[in-house]
A and B are shown apart, each in its own frame.
Chain A
Amino acid sequence: MTVTTIPTAGIADTAVSTAKIADNAVTVSKADFNNVNFKNLIINGDMSIAQRGASFSFNDSSGFTVDRFHFERTSGATGDCTITQESDAPNNTGLVKSVKIAVDTAETPTGGGNICFQQKIEGFNCATLEHGQSSPPSATLTFWVKSNKTGTYSVQIKGEGSTGRYVLFDYTISSANTWEKKTITWVGDTSVALDYDSSRRLRVIWHLASGPDDKVSPTSSWATSSLFQVSTNQVNFFDNTSNEIYITGVQLEVGTSASDFEFLPVDVNERRCFRYFQDYASFKLWTTALDGNTSTRLGGSMAYNTRMRATPSVSKTNNTGTVDSETITDRGYSVFGEKSNRGTTTNVTDLEFDAEL
């Protein structure tokens, strides 16, 4: 007898084993894994794009490092350190670059002083987290970390909707100077939505040191606070100038488990960074004031590589002449020379456009 139809109820739970499934039998549409392009809500998680340079010194200051990643210290901490992009990454992962934070001056933060490394995510990229809805999905953060200073550190996920919300997790660096992969999973926040806009709506924060004021117990349930919140178990990474920590392979994705790191082509990865920062080092934007006619000057204008998140700030070097007017939009930039400088030229160079969060 030929059986053409087997009732579903007739298949035992263990009847179809993996070995019995042909290699090409399961199509992508049937696969039960997170096979979504651009699943990583973190941009430049492999630390490979570094438009601002590869070495950054901080002394009583905060600022951006490799693209999209920001170092911050608050009042009560000086955060004197050097942050570098390194060619040191965990083996057999495909990762090539990492960020190293090396302490330059030992300190113990006081009061509400915090020192942390973070990425800020805009609301447009948070929609799949479904915060504020009745049953938001889980999210999973994965990263690789290495440090000579072992112990307990904390990661804060900070929602910045109408009310500040957070979850806070401990993770442990167990073996000195050894790459370790950390995975943290939590359920989305049902209470406070993350607005769908271009503003800062979520932060992933790796705490490094903190004063006593902001220390709380870790929690996987969303709690209310608009402040940095640091685990009471957090080590003081800044207690010795020999301390250094490496981080790379950062991925934040929807789901209850970590999938492989999503590698993007370098041009795609770079273009994603361009939404927030664009560097045109050595590029010269010329303007010319025509001799004999002050009313028919030439100006210089340029369109960005990609539309920026917001109207950016501009940093530039004005090599000759005088800049009279600048028009800045999220799509391009134009500059005009001073009208009294007839017969001269003006150029601005080393242009940087910053629309970071």
Chain B
Amino acid sequence: MINTVEKKYNEDSTFNYEVNYQDGTAWTVPHDTANRHYQEILEWVSEGNTITDKGGS
């Protein structure tokens, strides 16, 4: 189960998501609806959770 999600920007303005799971694992997840971790993020957000977005540098 997901613990936290943070949007991480690259220098070219693309971005990924840093996802921390409750079992201690962490994944860098692309913004791709075919990716199972991204699908989990969407479900996690639909449950009322919020993605941390500190903006790009």
Residue A310 at the B interface, CB < 8 A?
Answer: yes
Q: Is B28 touching A316 in the complex (CB atoms < 8 A)?
A: yes
A310 and B37 CA atoms in complex are apart in Å by 11
Tell me if A34 is interfacial: C-beta within 8 Å of chain B: no
Q: Across the two chains, which residue of chain B brings its CB closest to A58? A: B23
Which of A312, A327, A354 meets B10, CB within 8 Å? A327
Cβ-defined contact, B28 with A313, below 8 A: yes
Looking at chain A, what size class is its interface with the partner chain? 20 to 34
CA distance A310 to B39 in the complex (A): 13
In the assembled complex, B4 has its CB within 8 A of some CB on chain A: no
Q: In the complex, what residue of chain B is closest to A317 when comparing beta carbons?
A: B26
Interface size on B, residues (CB 8 A): 21
Known pairs A61-B1, A61-B23, A336-B11; A326 contacts B28 (CB<8 A): yes
How far in angstroms is the closest Cβ of chain A from B10? 4
Q: Which chain B residue lies CB-closest to A334?
A: B10
| Residue from B23, B30, B38 whose CB has the most chain A CB atoms within 10 Å | B30
- What is the CA–CA distance of A310 and B27 in the complex, to the nearest angstrom? 15
Q: Within 8 Å CB of B52, what residues of A?
A: none
Whole-angstrom distance between the alpha carbons of A357 and B23 in the complex?
20
- B35 lies within 8 A of chain A by Cβ: yes
Q: Check B32–A315 contact: CB distance below 8 A.
A: no
Shortest distance between the CB of B3 and any CB in chain A (Å): 13
Are B32 and A327 within 8 A (Cβ)? no
Chain B, range 20-44, C-beta contacts under 8 Å to A? 23, 25-30, 32, 34-38
Are A315 and B16 closer than 8 Å at their CB atoms?
no
A302 to B53, CA, bound (A): 28
How many angstroms between the C-alpha atoms of A312 and B31 in the bound complex?
10
Complex Cα gap A309–B35 (Å): 9
> Are B29 and A313 within 8 A (Cβ)?
yes
| A357:B36 contact, CB within 8 angstroms | yes
Q: Is A281 an interface residue (CB 8 A)?
A: no
Do the beta carbons of B34 and A310 come within 8 Å of each other?
yes
B46 at the binding interface (Cβ < 8 Å): no
- Other 8 A-B pairs with CB < 8 A, given A310-B32, A311-B35, A313-B27: A313-B36, A313-B37, A315-B28, A325-B11, A327-B10, A327-B14, A354-B37, A356-B36
16 A-B pairs with CB atoms under 8 Å apart are: A198-B34, A310-B35, A311-B35, A312-B35, A313-B19, A313-B29, A314-B28, A315-B26, A315-B27, A316-B28, A328-B30, A336-B11, A354-B27, A354-B37, A356-B36, A357-B36
